[in-house]
Amino acid sequence: MGLIQRLALLMLLVSPVQAQERFITVASTTSTEQSGLFKHLLPVFEKQAGIQVRVVALGTGQALHMGRRGDADVVFVHAQPLEEKFVAEGHGVRRLAVMYNEFVLVGPRSDPAQVAGTKDIARALQKIHAARAPFVSRGDRSGTHFAELQLWKAAGVDIAKQKGAWYRDTGSGMGPTLNTAAAMNGYALSDRATWLAFKNRGELAIAVQGDKRLFNQYGVILVNPAKHPHVKREAGQRFIDWLVSAEGQQAIAAYRIDGQQLFFPNAGN
C-alpha cells in the first residue's frame, strides 16, 4: 500500500465511524434543499427502502458537473435543456420528469419599476430594465439562473450587453440572493418554494406570478454506470422509481408551508 493509501486509511480510522448502511449520493439544487422538501421527503423513502439519501445541494450547473465527474449517483435538478444535454452526452441514463413549481418575481413594496400585479413577466422585465431598478441575479449557472436568462431573452433584453450597475450578479444560491435583494430593496427571480420558506423578507413581496413562462420543471437522472462503474445503480434506480411512483408523488404533493403546496408532482409528462 502506498503512503497515500495508508494516510487515507488513517483518515477513515479517525473519522467518526458510521454504521455501514447503504446510501446514495444525490446532487440536487439549493431550492429543493432550502425549501425543506428533502427534510420532508427523504425520511419516507429511507424508512421504506433502508437506503440513506445523502443530498449535496448545489446549483443545477454544479450538480450536473458533479454528475459528469461521477461524484453523485443521481442528479435531481431543474433545467430541462441542460438535463437533456447531460443525457445526450452519455453522462446520464434517462431523464424523468418528477414535479414542477413556479418562479415568482419578488420585489420591494415600493415597486420603483411599477410592475406589481402584472401577469406578464416579459413586460415586467422590460420595465425593470427601462427603469434601471435594482435587480439581483443568482449568476451561478443554476436552474433558476438559467430560467432568468431565458426570460430576459423573451423580454427582448440582451442582458449580457445591456446590464448596468442596477443588475447585481451575486453568483450565489437562492437564499443568499434573496438576502441581498431584501437588503438592497431590489427585484429577484425566485422559485416559489424557497420564497415561502424564506424568513428574511424585509420589504420584499411577490410582484409578478402566474405567467406560463414561469413554469419550473424538475427532472431526475441516474448517472450513467457505463461511464462511472462505481455508481450505485440499483439503489439509485430504486430512489428514482420511488420518486415517480404514486407514493413518492403523493409525498411530494403533501409538503406544505403554511398550508400552501410548494411542489406539484407531474411524473409521466
Partner 1 sequence: MHNILGHPQLWDIVALSLRVSLSAVALATLAGLPLGAAIAVGRFPGRAAVIVLLNALMGLPPVVVGLAVYLLLSRAGPLGDLGLLFTPAAMVAAQTILILPIIAALSRQAVEDAWREYAEQLRSLGVDGLRAALTVLWDVRFSLLTAVLAGLGRASAEVGAVMIVGGNIDGVTRVMTTAIALETSKGDLPLALGLGIVLIAIVLVLNAAAFLVKEAAQRRYG
Residue 141: left (phi > 0), alpha (psi -120 to 50), or beta?
left
Q: In one letter, which amino acid is 11? A: M
Instruction: Determine, following the binding rule CB under 8 A, whether residue 225 of this chain makes contact with partner 1.
Output: no
Q: How many angstroms separate the CA atoms of 20 and 17, rounded?
A: 9
> In the window 12-31, what residues touch partner 1 (CB under 8 A)?
12, 14-16, 18, 25, 30
Q: Which of 44, 97, 122, 197 binds partner 1 (CB under 8 A)?
A: 197
Closest separation in Å from C-beta 23 to partner 1: 8
In the complex with partner 1, the residue whose CB is nearer, 157 or 174, is: 174
Side-chain half-sphere of 223: how many Cα atoms within 13 Å? 27
The piece of 79-87, 114-122, 156-164, 170-178 that touches partner 1 (CB under 8 A) is 170-178
Instruction: Determine, following the binding rule CB under 8 A, whether residue 8 of this chain makes contact with partner 1.
Output: yes
Name the residue with cell 494516510: 7
Instruction: Determine, following the binding rule CB under 8 A, whether residue 47 of this chain makes contact with partner 1.
Output: no
Instruction: Determine, following the binding rule CB under 8 A, whether residue 174 of this chain makes contact with partner 1.
Output: yes
Q: How many angstroms separate the CA atoms of 51 and 19, rounded?
A: 12
Closest separation in Å from C-beta 250 to partner 1: 22
Closest separation in Å from C-beta 18 to partner 1: 8
Answer whether 59's CB lies under 8 Å from 171's CB: no
Answer whether 45's CB lies under 8 Å from 53's CB: yes
The piece of 116-124, 134-142, 173-181, 248-256 that touches partner 1 (CB under 8 A) is 173-181
Per-residue burial over 25-43, b if 16 or more Cβ lie within 10 Å, else e, is bbbbbbbbbbbbbbebbbe
Instruction: Determine, following the binding rule CB under 8 A, whether residue 69 of this chain makes contact with partner 1.
Output: yes
Q: Which of 228, 253, 257, 261 binds partner 1 (CB under 8 A)?
A: 228
Total residues interacting with partner 1, rule: CB under 8 A? 39
Q: Which of 24, 41, 51, 55 binds partner 1 (CB under 8 A)?
A: 55
Positive/negative CA dihedral, 113, 115, 121, 122:
negative
Please give, one letter per residue, the 3-state secondary structure of 165-221: CCEEECCCCHHHHHHHHHHHCCEEEEEHHHHHHCCCCCCEEEEECCCHHHEEEEEEE
Answer whether 189's CB lies under 8 Å from 78's CB: no
Closest separation in Å from C-beta 205 to partner 1: 14
Q: Which of 3, 11, 19, 165 binds partner 1 (CB under 8 A)?
A: 11
199: burial class by Cβ within 10 Å (0-12, 13-18, 19+)? exposed
In the complex with partner 1, the residue whose CB is nearer, 57 or 267, is: 57
Instruction: Determine, following the binding rule CB under 8 A, whether residue 34 of this chain makes contact with partner 1.
Output: yes
Residues lying near partner 1 in the complex (CB under 8 A): 4-5, 8, 10-12, 14-16, 18, 25, 30, 33-34, 38-39, 52, 54-57, 68-71, 173-176, 178-179, 182, 197-201, 228, 230
